[in-house]
Structure 1
Amino acid sequence: MFLVKSSVALMCVLGLLSVDGDVIWKLCSNRQCLCRPHSTHAVYMNCSGGNFTHIPTPPNKSLPLYLTLDQNILTNVTGEMFHNIPKSSLRSLLVFNNIISNVSADAFHGFTKLYKVVFSNNRMSVSSLTSAVASLKNCPLTSLTISSAKVRFFRPDFFLPLAHLSNLSLSLVNNSLEVYQSRVFAPMKGLAYLNLRGNHIRRMNITDNYTQNIRRLRLEGNRFDDFPNLCPNDKSYFPELTQLDIRYNQIRYLNKSYFDCLDTLKILRLDGNLILWVQKDQFAGLKSLERLSLADVGCTIGKVESGAFSSATLKQIFFRNNHIEFSRSSKSPTLAMFDGCPSLELLNVNYNVFSYLREGDYDLLFRNLTNLKTLLMGGCGINVIPKAIPKHLKNLTLLGLYHNEISDLEPNFFSGMNNLRQLLLGNNEITSVKRSTFPSNVFNGSGFVDLSKNPLSCGCESLWLIETFQRHPHLFRAEWHKEGYVCHSPKNLLDTQLRDVQISEKKCLLSWSVLMILLVGSSVLITLLVILSLLYYYRWSLIYLVFMIRHKEQEVVDRRQFLYDVFVAYSYDDLAWVKQHLMPVLEGSDGLKLCIHNRDFEVGRMIVDNIVHSVENSRKVIIVLSNKFAKSGWCQFELNLIQRHVIECGQRLLVVVMLEDIDPCHVTKSLRAMLQTTTYLEWGEESHTRQAFFNRLRLLVKRPLQSTSTRKMSV
């Protein structure tokens, strides 16, 4: 019965492990554990999912053994438990997800080649863990993991049995430590890697004489409010430290005097903190710094000074995923933040906001990064590739501009970038590209262009792209994006894979001829429409011109007496004023004969002929000027005829009556010229104003004592 239960459990685990990459696990010959087949240099045995009280015999006792005890219900670990395993064969022991509460003092006695031990997610008390570490005293450990054990603190002598070890990696991940106690780790002078990720550490309690040879220190996911002081009195607690990971804490301020003494530090990771301010030369004191990561801090960071990342040795900066708006605003990070980085080779500013920058701003950003080899600006809201990139960054080998809004690629844009090998332009708005867009070196050797997930057109404008893609798909990373190259136009090819498009140069040339015919036809039609529009817009001027030519040819000398004393030019909308005010005074009181359109024009005669005949047979001309008159096409035409007549026969013929102020938008060139050269009478509403108006008007239009004038009319 036990064997059946164990086999079922093992097959469940097998189902999980079989999908782990290329690793395939099968039942061992003991039928109780899983083994990795085809391994001739070692035995990898996973005894998971069973109720083991001892470890089954491995298939080959002479080979090194890597043993995993996962998801069992083990409660005790004793030396007797391993009696089927040769003590010289066990190399690695992973014990996790059990319910172990006790480890005997002799549990690992005699394992002379045990290098790696993992106790993870068990129920072991501190005393049981103390016993377990003590039993490892004579093992040549290089890696020890005690994780998810809910440990709040360790006694000062807890790791004393491991004091003799060199190059030890110690992982205390996901416990409940609240303070870094230097006296706990001080005995382990051979401790090279210390992982304290996911604890509750708020501070580091370090004695004055403490120094540690740790090369890698991980403190991410703890509760530091400020960067810990690792350099009291300019003395380094970690003189050999090369990597410091303090991501995802609650650090607000970076006091550079707290870490300036870390002369060997090469990698510093500060991602996900609550940093408010990055000062000038913030990291310049780190003499060996090569890689700096300051990502996921955009929600709090308020100021980044010019030269904040200045460093003579810095080669890689990760400033991604901060969603910071780069602009010229004083509240935004300065565009010169990367000044003073002559050795910088990689800059990652993915998922920040650059959409507010102009071309000159990019010059400030990139001007001193001439040695840059990799630039990543994905998800930055860029719609036009900055010209500062080919101008300043000629040594780039990789340029990432994915997840932007780029729609157009200029021919020969990258022509001066002779080292460019990899160009990432996926997830933009690009519809077509030409061969001249990319330098030849992009398609040489291991080079490629990623254009996946763009709204590509599969028409003739993309002939080069389609043919090249179908012949050499690896040049476009097609094997990475099997569904990423899809046609978005024309409609008959919508959602067709680029590799399946049927297109030829001959077909495109035919299409080009048809296109040229359409273009020529469209051009002729547009030209015709423009001409007709101009003719309509200037119709009154043209009518006037034609009339002038016709009457010039028919010029005659007129010696008749005048038929009318006054010709009145007015808008039909002002006829009521003419009848109510003008006619009663000039015709009624003064006995003058007025020529009024609606009354005196000859029926059946062309309007133009009526106007000319009446004007040339009138002694005076009164223009009743209003906004309605100024807007009327016929009135403007009439005004042109009158002005020509006045020019030839004398300015004194013309009298202008202004009924109201004319809106500037209605004032034509002719009207403006008339108002500038002619004194006009203004109509008013008060009785005394009207009396003065008619007194002046009578003087201007009264008959002379002898009316024997003769005139020559040529309109």
Structure 2
Amino acid sequence: MGCTATTLLLSFCATTCFCVLTSSDGISVLPSRSDSTTKGKDWTFCYLNICMCSGPLANCQFGHLTYIPTLWDNITQLNFTDNNLHWISNDTFANITHLNLHFLSLAWNKIQNISDDALAELRELKHLDLTGNDLLTPIDLATAFRGLDNIPLQSLTLSGMKLKHVPLNMFHGMKNNVLKYLVLEKNHLEEYNQDAFSILGNIRVIELGGNKISSLKWAHAPYLSRLALDGNIITKVPSFCGVNSSFYPKLQKLYLEHNLLTETRPYMFKCLPHINILGLNANPIEGIETNTFSELPRLKNIFLKNLKGSKMYIKNHAFNNSNVKRLTMDGSQFTYSDNNVDADSFSGCTGLQSLDLSFSDMYGVNESFFMQLFKDLRGLGGLALGGCKLVSVPDAIPLMLHNLVYLKLFNNRLTFLPKDLFRNLTKLTHLYVDGNKIPEFDEDTFPEKLRKRLRNVNLANNPFSCTCSIRWFLSWVHQDKKKFQQFPYFYKCSSPAYYLHKSLSEISFSEQSCLFERTVYVAVLGGTVPLIIVFVICALLYRWRWQIRYYMYLLRRHDDRIVDEQHLTYDGYVVYSTDDTPWIIKEVLPNLEDKHGLALCVHERDFDVGGAIVDNIVESVEDSRKVLIVLSPNSIQSEWCQFSINYAHRKSLVNGPESLIVILKEEISSRFVSSSIRLLLDPQTYILWPADDEDVEARVLFWERVAARVKGVTGRE
């Protein structure tokens, strides 16, 4: 799978791949010689038994070479990671200067010196990676970069090189360069001084995560759109306001996660007119002050997950910004019942669409507080209050939040749902009430219109009372199994004793048996007074034992789902092997995004920075209306593609088979076809890519057909 800009080569590609920067944040990954994906028919040895080539790609990783050999004339990308080029001069590249080389990885070569003219002959070079060459000093690099002055270099990776500082003249040899992406992750930098990068007039992205930075010195960077300072030891953020202007007038994404910030202050991020995403996760922030995020006209996303301050307070109007669409605070464990959180915290957030307060402490909070807390959030489409110790559903939800599309109340202490809870929630399609203590769900709470409208329901891990009273519920579950997440494995009876631990899928109640049960009940009730007394005593004792079981039954299942299902980001998530990247760039993106206006999620371009690959895959699938699976000999042998396909299958069980679009790019040998892939190869379900390059009309019709399948769900014209 792909890497993101902040993990460029260092964390993932260090062992099994090398990467090519293809867009603002996207990375295209090429396999190593030891990777299973290189063993297909498209890869062949092109130099002894050391270097392997496939089309324009050459891979000489782990070759122990002290020189760069002659390679095929069509090679444009060379992975020379983990070799022994200790000294690099103009002669080092003599065998490849005739190539139109665009990408070159010299990571982990134990390089000690690079002459000032060594790189000058690589006239078409766009991406250079020197990761892991920790013998090079800043002076050595400044010398080497003189050869890059007139080269169209777009990205430069200097991660894992134990650099302690960036001298002001380190990049002066590149003053005429068009460099846009600079990665300096996982070094030993103690200071970020923008003056050191000012000579790079076109710089768009600077990645400085995983260093030891404690000092920040801003300077004017007119085009910088992304600044990542996560994983450092920053304790204070200076003002972004320069003399009559902003230091970063076009900055859109600022990441300060996993630092040592302890405070916020009013107008803290003023003078960032284009900021869209602000990441402050996992800082020891004590609290959020009034108007911390005000005066940011384009701020859409605020991430405050897992804050770990000691006081944990939120002042009134702390998030006062009508432009914010998404606020994520799960895991920060604010206590709402001790006056540390002001009831007007969210005042002014009239545009908020998604709010996640999961794993806060809301035990004992009164209804008037909730009414004030949510008063400006009437347009909210998604609310997550999982793990908040709630013993009842706040009245403010049904009374005020009529636009909710998803509601998450998992892992609380709820024992019932009010009958009129969903009466005004006419847009609700996703409901998560799993991990509570609810024995029965009343049929009046779930009228027929609601049951038909709901698309995803999770009521798992509740202590179901398996009596005739749930007969209606069993009928609903069996009729709409695909809607119920975790069914049947986590839907089990807690009572009566003879059904204990049985799955709801294993029990049934006929109309006759339930009618007989009611008849017997009436007869017993109308019997003698001693029998009635005995019955009542037994029922009370039984009910007392039953409640004890409930209070002992609490399964806390952490759930990080925060996707706003009504406002999904993407029309489709594309599953493909990185060996097929050229085809994706040449065919898929121009035809579906440019011509048909669809928004696609491509892992090499759109994965979140710093996130685990598994998390990125799951969140991207959940945030996409459809999944486009590109089947080829490469993709069916990729473990990450297999994972993506299996997860997409799981989602299709909920959203229906039309949520999957299968494109057969090439014929596949049956010996590589797994059972899950075999299901996708039903001729009624996949779309075959026309192999004939000259059949233009067939390809046009192909893309029209794919786009139509996507738009069938998205509702696009």
Residues 1:523 and 1:273: Cα distance change in structure 2 (over 3 Å): farther
The aligned residue for residue 162 of structure 2 is 150
1:195 aligns with 2:207: yes
State which of 253, 256, 259 in structure 1 corresponds to 2:263: 253
Residues 1:431 and 1:161: Cα distance change in structure 2 (over 3 Å): farther
The aligned residue for residue 592 of structure 2 is none
Indicate conservation of the 8 Å contact 1:87/1:110, yes or no. no
1:275, CA displacement in angstroms?
2.6
State which of 426, 438, 442 in structure 1 corresponds to 2:434: 426
Q: Which amino acid aligns with 2:387?
A: G
How do 1:6-405 residues align onto structure 2 when only pairs under 5 Å count? 24-26=37-39, 28-30=43-45, 32=49, 43-55=56-68, 61-62=73-74, 64-65=76-77, 67-77=78-88, 85=96, 88-126=99-137, 127-166=139-178, 168-206=180-218, 210-232=220-242, 235-256=245-266, 259-327=269-337, 329-330=338-339, 332-405=340-413
Q: Secondary structure at the match of 2:142?
A: helix
Q: Which amino acid aligns with 2:364?
A: Y
Note the alpha carbon deviations across 1:324-360, whole angstroms, 9 max, x for none.
2101x33x21122001111111111111111121223
Provide the rounded CA distance (Å) in 2 between the counterparts of 1:523 and 1:324. 54
State which of 420, 435, 455 in structure 2 corresponds to 1:447: 455
Aligned length: 506
Q: Secondary structure at the match of 2:156?
A: strand
Q: Secondary structure at the match of 1:147?
A: coil
1:393, CA displacement in angstroms?
0.8
Provide the rounded CA distance (Å) in 2 between the counterparts of 1:454 and 1:55. 64
Provide the rounded CA distance (Å) in 2 between the counterparts of 1:136 and 1:445. 60
Note the alpha carbon deviations across 1:277-306, whole angstroms, 9 max, x for none.
432222212222222222322433443211
Provide the rounded CA distance (Å) in 1 between the counterparts of 2:218 and 2:311. 30
Indicate conservation of the 8 Å contact 1:278/1:303, yes or no. yes
Provide the rounded CA distance (Å) in 1 between the counterparts of 2:382 and 2:362. 18
Provide the rounded CA distance (Å) in 2 between the counterparts of 1:238 and 1:93. 31
Provide the rounded CA distance (Å) in 2 between the counterparts of 1:465 and 1:72. 64
Indicate conservation of the 8 Å contact 1:146/1:171, yes or no. yes
Residues 1:191 and 1:531: Cα distance change in structure 2 (over 3 Å): closer
Q: Which amino acid aligns with 2:412?
A: N
State which of 486, 501, 506 in structure 2 corresponds to 1:501: 506
The aligned residue for residue 517 of structure 2 is 514
Q: Which amino acid aligns with 1:111?
A: L
Higher relative contact order (CA 8 A, sep 6+): 2
How do 1:647-662 residues align onto structure 2 when only pairs under 5 Å count? none
Residues 1:463 and 1:79: Cα distance change in structure 2 (over 3 Å): farther
* TM-score normalised over the length of structure 2: 0.63
Consecutive unaligned residues in structure 1, runs of 5 or more: 1-9, 534-715
Q: Which amino acid aligns with 2:297?
A: K
Provide the rounded CA distance (Å) in 1 between the counterparts of 2:534 and 2:507. 44
1:455, CA displacement in angstroms?
3.7
Indicate conservation of the 8 Å contact 1:486/1:497, yes or no. yes
Provide the rounded CA distance (Å) in 1 between the counterparts of 2:499 and 2:59. 53
Residues 1:421 and 1:530: Cα distance change in structure 2 (over 3 Å): closer
Indicate conservation of the 8 Å contact 2:323/2:351, yes or no. yes
1:436, CA displacement in angstroms?
4.5
Provide the rounded CA distance (Å) in 1 between the counterparts of 2:159 and 2:106. 11
Q: Which amino acid aligns with 2:333?
A: H
Note the alpha carbon deviations across 1:663-695, whole angstroms, 9 max, x for none.
xxxxxxxxxxxxxxxxxxxxxxxxxxxxxxxxx
Consecutive unaligned residues in structure 2, runs of 5 or more: 1-12, 18-28, 537-717
Note the alpha carbon deviations across 1:56-105, whole angstroms, 9 max, x for none.
666x643643x434444553455555556575443333443443333344
Q: Secondary structure at the match of 1:449?
A: strand
Note the alpha carbon deviations across 1:102-141, whole angstroms, 9 max, x for none.
3344444343443322222232322333344333333322
Note the alpha carbon deviations across 1:160-208, whole angstroms, 9 max, x for none.
233334470111112122222232111112111111112222222356x
The aligned residue for residue 712 of structure 1 is none
Q: Which amino acid aligns with 2:61?
A: S
Indicate conservation of the 8 Å contact 2:90/2:118, yes or no. yes
Residues 1:34 and 1:348: Cα distance change in structure 2 (over 3 Å): farther
Note the alpha carbon deviations across 1:239-289, whole angstroms, 9 max, x for none.
111222122222233344553122222222222223334322222122222
Q: Which amino acid aligns with 1:248?
A: H
1:452, CA displacement in angstroms?
3.4
Indicate conservation of the 8 Å contact 2:229/2:255, yes or no. yes
Provide the rounded CA distance (Å) in 1 between the counterparts of 2:109 and 2:298. 44
Provide the rounded CA distance (Å) in 1 between the counterparts of 2:133 and 2:152. 24
Residues 1:18 and 1:266: Cα distance change in structure 2 (over 3 Å): closer
Provide the rounded CA distance (Å) in 1 between the counterparts of 2:535 and 2:148. 100
Q: Which amino acid aligns with 1:160?
A: H
1:378, CA displacement in angstroms?
1.5
Moved more, 436-445 or 126-135: 436-445
Provide the rounded CA distance (Å) in 1 between the counterparts of 2:270 and 2:130. 36
Q: Which amino acid aligns with 1:201?
A: I
Provide the rounded CA distance (Å) in 1 between the counterparts of 2:496 and 2:151. 70
How do 1:455-474 residues align onto structure 2 when only pairs under 5 Å count? 455-456=463-464, 459-474=467-482
Residues 1:301 and 1:84: Cα distance change in structure 2 (over 3 Å): farther
1:43, CA displacement in angstroms?
4.4
The aligned residue for residue 638 of structure 2 is none
The aligned residue for residue 555 of structure 1 is none
The aligned residue for residue 659 of structure 1 is none
Residues 1:453 and 1:114: Cα distance change in structure 2 (over 3 Å): farther
Q: Which amino acid aligns with 2:296?
A: L
The aligned residue for residue 414 of structure 2 is 406
Residues 1:473 and 1:203: Cα distance change in structure 2 (over 3 Å): same
1:502, CA displacement in angstroms?
5.3
Provide the rounded CA distance (Å) in 2 between the counterparts of 1:532 and 1:277. 56
The aligned residue for residue 623 of structure 2 is none
Residues 1:420 and 1:159: Cα distance change in structure 2 (over 3 Å): same
Aligned-residue CA RMSD in angstroms? 3.7
Q: Which amino acid aligns with 1:243?
A: K
Q: Which amino acid aligns with 2:368?
A: G
Provide the rounded CA distance (Å) in 1 between the counterparts of 2:394 and 2:161. 53
1:372, CA displacement in angstroms?
0.7
* TM-score normalised over the length of structure 1: 0.63
